[in-house]
Chain A
Amino acid sequence: MYSRPLPHARTLRTAGTGAVVAVAVAACGGASSGGGTAGASGSSRHAVVTISEADGCQVSATSFRAGALTFDITNKDANAVTEVELEANGRIVGEKENLPAGFTGSFSVNVDGGSYELVCPGAKPDSVAITVTGKAASSAGTVADLLRQGAKEYAGYVNDQATELVEAAETLRDAIKSGNLTDAQTAYDKARPFYEKIEPVAESFTAGKVNLDADIDAREGDVPAAQWQGFHRIEKGLFADQSVEGLSTYAAGLVANTKTLRKLTVGLTFQPYEIANGAQELLDEVAASKITGEEERYSHIDLVDIENNDEGAEQAFAALRPGLTKIDSQLTATIAARFAALDALIETYRTGDNPSGFVYYGDLTKADKRKLAAAVKAVQEPLSKVASKVAQG
Chain B
Amino acid sequence: MRAEDVRPSRRQFVTSALGAAGVLVAGGAGGVAIGRAADGGSSSQVGGTIPFYGPYQAGIATPAQDRLAFAAFDLTSSNRHEVALLLGKWAAAAARMTQGDLIGAVTDAPQAPPIDTGEALGLGPAQLTITVGFGPSVFDSRYGLAGKRPAALADIPPLPGDALRAGISNGDIGVQACSNDPQVAFHAIRNFARLARGTAVMRWSQLGFGRTSSTSTSQETPRNLMGFKDGTNNIKAEATADFDKFVWVGSETDQPWMRGGSYVVTRRIRMLIESWDTDFLADQENVFGRLKNSGAPLGGKTEFEPVDLVARHPDGTPVIPADAHIRLASPHAHGGKKILRRGYSFTDGIDPDTGLLDAGLFFIAYQKDPREQFVPIQRLLGGSDSLNEYIRHTSSALFAVPRGLSGPGDWWGKELFG
Contacts and interface: CB of A to CB of B under 8 A. Distances in A.
Interface string B77-106: 000000011001101110110000100111
Interface in A301-348: 334, 338
B111 A9 contact: yes
B205 to A, nearest CB: 14
Contacts of B110: 7-10, 388
Nearest to A120: B105
B197 A380 contact: yes
Contact of A100 (B88, B108, B112, B407): B88
Interface string A12-38: 010000000000000000000000000
Interface size class of A (residues with CB under 8 A): 35 or more
B383 interface: no
B220 interface: no
A102 interface: yes
Nearest to B84: A103
A145 interface: no
B198 interface: yes
Contacts of B408: 53, 76-79, 101-102
Contact of A79 (B92, B111, B115, B414): B92
Given A10-B109, A75-B409, A385-B112, 13 more contacts: A6-B111, A7-B110, A77-B408, A79-B91, A79-B96, A80-B105, A81-B104, A101-B92, A103-B85, A126-B105, A370-B201, A380-B197, A388-B110
B395 to A, nearest CB: 17
Q: Report whether over half of chain B's contact residues are helix, strand or loop; otherwise say mixed.
A: loop
Contacts of A7: 110-111
Contacts of B157: none
B363 interface: no
A78 B408 CA distance: 7
A183 to B, nearest CB: 42
B325 to A, nearest CB: 36
B113 interface: yes
Interface string B376-418: 0000000000000000000000000000000111110010000
B89 A82 contact: yes
B194 interface: yes
B96 A80 contact: yes
Interface in A346-383: 370, 374, 377-382
B197 A388 contact: no
Contacts of B89: 82, 98, 100
Contact of A121 (B88, B96, B105): B105
Query: Interface size for chain B: under 10, 10 to 19, 20 to 34, or 35 or more residues?
Result: 20 to 34
B85 A100 contact: yes
Contacts of A387: 111-112
B27 to A, nearest CB: 12
B107 interface: yes
A76 B410 CA distance: 10
A101 B409 contact: yes
A121 B96 CA distance: 15
A40 B123 CA distance: 53
Nearest to A385: B112
Nearest to B407: A77
12 contacts: A8-B110, A9-B110, A10-B110, A79-B96, A100-B91, A338-B198, A378-B197, A381-B198, A382-B198, A387-B111, A388-B109, A388-B110
B198 A80 contact: no
A122 interface: yes
Contact of A378 (B93, B96, B101, B198): B198
Given A10-B108, A101-B409, A381-B197, A79 B95 contact: yes
B334 to A, nearest CB: 39
B76 interface: yes
B112 A388 contact: yes
A100 B84 CA distance: 10
B316 to A, nearest CB: 56
Contacts of A9: 109-111
A273 interface: yes
Given A8-B110, A378-B76, A384-B112, A102 B411 contact: yes
B109 to A, nearest CB: 4
B402 to A, nearest CB: 15
Contacts of A384: 112-113
Interface in A65-82: 75-82
Contacts of B76: 374, 378
Contacts of A126: 105
Contacts of B105: 80-81, 121-123, 126
A31 to B, nearest CB: 21
